[in-house]
Amino acid sequence: MGLKNKLFLGTFVHSKALDELEYLHNAAVCVDMSGTIVAVEVECDELRARETVLPRLGWEVAEVEVVEAKEGQFFFPGFIDTHLHASQYPNIGIFGKSTLLDWLNTYTFPLEASLSDPVKARQVYTRVIRKTLSHGTTCAAYYATIDVPSTNLLTDLCLSHGQRALVGRVCMDQLSPDYYRDASADASLAATRASIAHILRADPTMSLVKPIITPRFAPACSLPLMRQLGALARETSLPIQTHISENKSEIALVKDLFPPSATGAADDSYASVYDAAGLLTDKTVLAHAVHLTEAEADLVSARRAKVSHCPCSNSAITSGAARVRWLLDKGITCGLGTDMSGGYSPSVLETARQAALVSRHVVMGANGLAPGEEREKLSVEEVLFLATRGGAEVVGLEGRVGGFEVGMEWDAQLVGLGMIGEGGEVEGEEDEGGDVDVFGWESWPDRVAKWLYNGDDRNTKKVWVKGRLVHQRK
Amino acid sequence: MGLKNKLFLGTFVHSKALDELEYLHNAAVCVDMSGTIVAVEVECDELRARETVLPRLGWEVAEVEVVEAKEGQFFFPGFIDTHLHASQYPNIGIFGKSTLLDWLNTYTFPLEASLSDPVKARQVYTRVIRKTLSHGTTCAAYYATIDVPSTNLLTDLCLSHGQRALVGRVCMDQLSPDYYRDASADASLAATRASIAHILRADPTMSLVKPIITPRFAPACSLPLMRQLGALARETSLPIQTHISENKSEIALVKDLFPPSATGAADDSYASVYDAAGLLTDKTVLAHAVHLTEAEADLVSARRAKVSHCPCSNSAITSGAARVRWLLDKGITCGLGTDMSGGYSPSVLETARQAALVSRHVVMGANGLAPGEEREKLSVEEVLFLATRGGAEVVGLEGRVGGFEVGMEWDAQLVGLGMIGEGGEVEGEEDEGGDVDVFGWESWPDRVAKWLYNGDDRNTKKVWVKGRLVHQRK
């Protein structure tokens, strides 16, 4: 993969800080054969790159692949989807008026169970990888199912398609249907170890795919299982992913199932249950965190656990409106998750858009906050930070992906918008600009805002992971 | 237009009631040269149509144009966008963290004023018509600007592109910038009459384009202007469109500007101001209605005025979450509006999606409601009703468009979804199914849900207005 050294030329846009995008125009980024960024040069056209940068790198000019962003196009870091269920992909958009617990039983468990059929698993997993790549998702934290062979297949397909991923076999040994449940805590642990072993055989250096320990969520896991998974995380130093505080009925169920007398925790909060089981680590990805109490958020912050914010899902299945600003203010690292198929969209860009909109609903009084909390609003810059740098930190890849800096790996997308001519026609092919129309007088920040609010996979022209081209539009 | 009689064959989906979609499979719909539906036959393939239906209509088989929906495709009524500002189209997605009143001054008035340039007006209006047609919008209730020539151009362009429209010259004689304001109430009225006269010359039977009296919103209109426009509506029997109760600062401003002592109204509510001026009729389209009081909603209901719900806009510029169920329960007719560019999307389908999501935010406690108001949730069927039948009634076209019944006009779109093969590939062209993946096992209601939640203009293959093909994808 990435057999040639590459020279990328044009405009590069990436996050400098939570509320700041940096625009590098007329710039050059050099990516070596391993997929690592080895030079970032501003005010550098192709000629200057050939004359000064490539020689400094010791690269033969003739052997360098040149990729140039056209006028109006820009390179942007690949998106990181910090929470999605690969196995639920065929159900996106199908949830009726359900909420979490009935949604699981009605729509979700039957579909997940059906993926023990390897033909269906190959179809679904191939599709979800291609689909998310086409939307610029260069890294995904996947839940698979309880089934080991098909979870292994998901790993293999990520590797063959070149998508960076964390792959988790789902652990669940209670409170789920007979037809879809681990036989025991021990069986769950053994199956988890088997899926981890498969990943380490397939990608020994975890250069692309990493295992992630995946207790589904507290209600579906016995205390012994959670404790064993906590011990496994300590033993292996692997990351953990699970759900927390998504829905009020779920929270009540957790209180009911895991009293302090059983867990040994100081209180009966959801976060304390995980903490008591050793599952609240600095490598833990907590999806949702909609209804955390102050004390829980403080505990999550103290443990340096991360949050995957899933606004599409939280709105769709009526879970609530997560207070992202409040989490950020507590020093908690946040990223975005499509949470398919609680979330209806495969797109992190749509998720970022909804993060902006849901933050406005928080201001408007959702979640019991007083209206007028203006600073809860997330800006264009902030939601795009969450989609890239924030996500990278959530999945433990900060400093490796999420931005364009020397030493980071080239996980990126080339974005193109539609340019409107004087006659009101879009220039170029019919779908050249997707649904984004640029009239020419817009500033760069306005163009990025237009992309956030109307962009789709048509705007993502090419996608690279670790320097390798993994998707391009025809 | 529509020079041939047409025979449409395949699956037809339309609303039977607020919460019910009807699926007509293997059906035939005959549309005559005038664009009127003259037959709807179930269990009718092409052979049967040729043998029994066409002879009954007295149509020469050889002269009938046949349009067949492919397997998995379906005909759906065209969407009705009951509220949008054609002149603001270039600004969609650009609103920062603003709210209504600063948004108007920062982004909106400068752009609207600039459309007095006829070259720019032609570019923008051509683009917004093509764009909305490509998203299946067969009828739009447009706000133009205060400028008469460019408003007339919008009318001409709707006619030449074949889009059904209500076109309103914007009336505003106070509290807006010097550079963008009618010189006086009389000048505003005269300009409005001029734009009405233009429409009646261009489309004397109002078969496609109708004038609509458009006081921008109370704060921008003097009381004499509102009264004159109310009188004009009585004189002409024309519809009216305006905004109401979008944002709390706006509401406070209205109370301040229009005390009962001035208006002669019984109270200082926003609805009463319009009512006192004669602007609250059964042909009035009120955009937003986010913060109506009980008494105001009762007054709107009593006057049989209609509401255009604009969820994308209300979320984007942080106006609030309109309580659509509550409005419907009061017997108020509701449709959907993209409200570009307060709304960020040109798509009524996206607006319907957001209507479903925002209704969930109402349940989750936005707008000061108690959480748990489950029945506030809008279903897939309900938001699609609002987008078609509801919208038709809002703009006074009930019984003419919005469904597939004999006597109605053929304003319709052909919708196609993506069919996923065994290998996880989409069948056909790359963008054949847009972003909607159908695996084959989904029910028809599930397919429609998938379209609602991930569909875009790629799914809208062809669009007809009054029997005339006005858009098709290459």
CATH code, domain carrying B31? 2.30.40.10
Residue of chain A whose alpha carbon sits nearest to that of B317:
A360
Residue A207: CATH number of its domain: 3.20.20.140
pLDDT of residue B472: 96
**Could you tell me how far CA A218 lies from the centroid of its own chain?**
22
Residue of chain B whose alpha carbon sits nearest to that of A120:
B422
CA–CA dist A220, A199 (Å, integer):
25
pLDDT of residue A426: 84
Tell me the pLDDT band of A370, cut-offs 50, 70 and 90: low
For testing the chain B interface, which of A312, A318, A373, A375 should be mutated: the one with the most B CBs within 10 Å?
A318
Helices (H), B169-303: 185-202, 223-236, 248-257, 260-263, 270-276, 294-303
In tens, the pLDDT along A153-206 reads 999 999 999 999 999 999 999 999 999 999 999 999 999 999 999 999 999 999
Q: Find the helix or strand (DSSP H, E) in which A358 lies.
A: helix A348-363
CA–CA dist B311, B313 (Å, integer):
5
Residue whose entry in the numeric block shows the structure tokens 């067949």: B68
A421 CB neighbours in chain B (<8 A) are 123
Asked if residue B400 belongs to a domain, the reply is no
pLDDT of residue A374: 82
pLDDT of residue B1: 45
B421 CB neighbours in chain A (<8 A) are 123
Residues B146 and B247 in one domain: yes
B462 CB neighbours in chain A (<8 A) are none
Q: What is the largest CA-CA distance in chain A?
A: 72
**Residue A346 distance to chain B (closest CA, Å):** 9
Token pair of B281, please? 């009729």
Is residue A472 pLDDT above 90, yes or no? yes
Of the three residues B358, B373, B394, the one that is the final residue of a domain is B394
3-state secondary structure of B181: coil
pLDDT of residue B179: 96
ipTM value, please give it.
Answer: 0.97
For testing the chain A interface, which of B125, B349, B437, B473 should be mutated: the one with the most A CBs within 10 Å?
B437
CB-count burial class (<10 Å; 0-12, 13-18, 19+) for A372: exposed
Q: Find the helix or strand (DSSP H, E) in which B384 lies.
A: helix B380-385
**Residue A89 distance to chain B (closest CA, Å):** 9
**Residue B42 distance to chain A (closest CA, Å):** 28
Residue of chain A whose alpha carbon sits nearest to that of B380:
A96
For A31, left (φ over 0), alpha (ψ -120 to 50), or beta?
beta
Per the structure, the count of domains in chain B is: 2
pLDDT of residue B372: 55
Residues B142 and B91 in one domain: yes
Q: Residue B197 is which amino acid?
A: A
Residues A339 and A459 in one domain: no
pLDDT of residue B429: 77
Residues B435 and B390 in one domain: no
Q: Find the helix or strand (DSSP H, E) in which A127 lies.
A: helix A118-134
Asked if residue A400 belongs to a domain, the reply is no
Residue B408, C-beta contacts closer than 8 angstroms, at least 6 positions apart:
B36, B37, B399, B400, B401, B402
Is residue A310 pLDDT above 90, yes or no? yes
- Residue B213 gets which letter from DSSP? B
In this complex, the residue of A126, A457, A474 whose CB is nearest that of residue B435 is A457
In this complex, the residue of A130, A367, A380 whose CB is nearest that of residue B424 is A130
Asked if residue A454 belongs to a domain, the reply is yes
Residues B458 and B329 in one domain: no
Contact (Cβ atoms closer than 8 angstroms) between residue A198 and residue A155: yes
B381 CB neighbours in chain A (<8 A) are none
In tens, the pLDDT along A240-291 reads 999 999 999 999 999 999 999 999 999 999 999 999 999 999 999 999 999 9
Residue of chain A whose alpha carbon sits nearest to that of B134:
A435
Residues B197 and B57 in one domain: no
Closest CA to A453 of A373, A372, A347, A367: A347
Percent of chain A with pLDDT over 90: 92
Percent of chain A with pLDDT over 70: 98
Token pair of B428, please? 């056909």
Number of H helices, E strands in chain A: 18, 20
CA–CA dist A168, A434 (Å, integer):
34
Token pair of B434, please? 């847009």
Q: Do B357 and A315 touch (CB under 8 A)?
A: yes
Asked if residue A402 belongs to a domain, the reply is no
Residues A297 and A318 in one domain: yes
Residues A73 and A86 in one domain: no
A311 CB neighbours in chain B (<8 A) are none
Residues B179 and B257 in one domain: yes
Of the three residues A394, A423, A443, the one that is the final residue of a domain is A394
Asked if residue A1 belongs to a domain, the reply is no
Asked if residue B399 belongs to a domain, the reply is no
In this complex, the residue of A89, A319, A365 whose CB is nearest that of residue B368 is A365
In this complex, the residue of A126, A316, A435 whose CB is nearest that of residue B423 is A126
Average pLDDT over chain A, rounded to whole?
96
Asked if residue B1 belongs to a domain, the reply is no
Spell out where A275-411 has E strands. 284-288, 306-309, 334-336
B450 CB neighbours in chain A (<8 A) are 92-94
**Residue A318 distance to chain B (closest CA, Å):** 6
Is residue A372 pLDDT above 60, yes or no? no
pLDDT of residue A429: 77
Of the three residues A394, A417, A437, the one that is the final residue of a domain is A394
Closest CA to A112 of A169, A166, A160, A161: A169
Is residue A1 pLDDT above 50, yes or no? no
Contact (Cβ atoms closer than 8 angstroms) between residue A447 and residue A60: no
Contact (Cβ atoms closer than 8 angstroms) between residue B324 and residue B312: no
**Residue B400 distance to chain A (closest CA, Å):** 30
Residues B83 and B72 in one domain: no
Q: In what order do the strands lie in the sheet with A284-288?
A: A240-244, A284-288, A306-309, A334-336
Residues A157 and A272 in one domain: yes
Q: Do B422 and A123 touch (CB under 8 A)?
A: yes
Contact (Cβ atoms closer than 8 angstroms) between residue B437 and residue B50: no
B372 CB neighbours in chain A (<8 A) are none
In tens, the pLDDT along A39-58 reads 999 999 999 999 999 999 99
Size of interface A-B (CB pairs under 8 A): 175
Residue of chain B whose alpha carbon sits nearest to that of A358:
B315
pLDDT of residue A425: 85
Q: Do B127 and A437 touch (CB under 8 A)?
A: yes
DSSP of B20-73, one letter per residue? EEEEEEEEEEEE-TTSBEEEEESS--HHHIIIIIHHHHT--GGG-EEEE--TT-
Number of H helices, E strands in chain B: 18, 20
Q: Find the helix or strand (DSSP H, E) in which A254 lies.
A: helix A248-257
In this complex, the residue of B123, B436, B451 whose CB is nearest that of residue A424 is B123
- For residues B298-330, one letter each, b for 16 or more C-beta atoms within 10 angstroms of the residue's C-beta and e for the rest, the string is ebbbebebbbbbbbbbbbbbbbbbbbbbbbbeb
Cα separations in angstroms, B341 against A92, A437, B167: 28, 13, 17
Q: Do A97 and B379 touch (CB under 8 A)?
A: yes
Range of the domain at B185: 79-394
Closest CA to B214 of B87, B117, B355: B87
- The stretch A329-337 carries a mean pLDDT of 98
Whether cis (ω within 30° of 0) applies to the bond prior to A319 is: no
Q: Of A335-344, A356-365, B147-156, B391-400, give the lowest mean pLDDT range.
A: A356-365
- The stretch A330-349 carries a mean pLDDT of 98
pLDDT per residue as tens, chain B (474 positions):
448 999 999 999 999 999 999 999 999 999 999 999 999 999 999 999 999 999 999 999 899 999 999 998 999 999 999 999 999 999 999 999 899 999 999 999 999 999 999 999 999 999 999 999 999 999 999 999 999 999 999 999 999 999 999 999 999 999 999 999 999 999 999 999 999 999 999 999 999 999 999 999 999 999 999 999 999 999 999 999 999 999 999 999 999 999 999 999 999 999 999 999 999 999 999 999 999 999 999 999 999 999 999 999 999 999 999 999 999 999 999 999 999 999 999 999 999 999 999 999 998 875 555 555 788 999 999 999 999 999 999 999 999 999 999 999 999 999 999 999 998 888 877 778 899 999 999 999 999 999 999 999 999 999 999 999 999 998
CA–CA dist A425, A411 (Å, integer):
33
pLDDT of residue B430: 72
In tens, the pLDDT along A415-438 reads 999 999 998 888 877 778 899 999
Token pair of A20, please? 């700041």
Residue of chain B whose alpha carbon sits nearest to that of A313:
B357
Is residue A79 pLDDT above 50, yes or no? yes
Q: How many Cα atoms sit within 13 Å of A225 on the Cβ side?
A: 27
- Residue B427 gets which letter from DSSP? S
In tens, the pLDDT along B56-89 reads 999 998 999 999 999 989 999 999 999 999 999 9
Residue whose entry in the numeric block shows the structure tokens 């401003």: B253
- Quickly count: other Cβ atoms within 10 Å of residue A311's Cβ: 32
Token pair of B29, please? 């719909």
Whether cis (ω within 30° of 0) applies to the bond prior to A15 is: no
Q: Do B130 and A424 touch (CB under 8 A)?
A: yes
Q: Do A450 and B366 touch (CB under 8 A)?
A: no
Q: Do B424 and A122 touch (CB under 8 A)?
A: yes
Q: Do A92 and B453 touch (CB under 8 A)?
A: yes
Residues A112 and A173 in one domain: yes
Q: Residue B162 is which amino acid?
A: G
Cα separations in angstroms, A181 against A97, A184, B378: 25, 8, 34
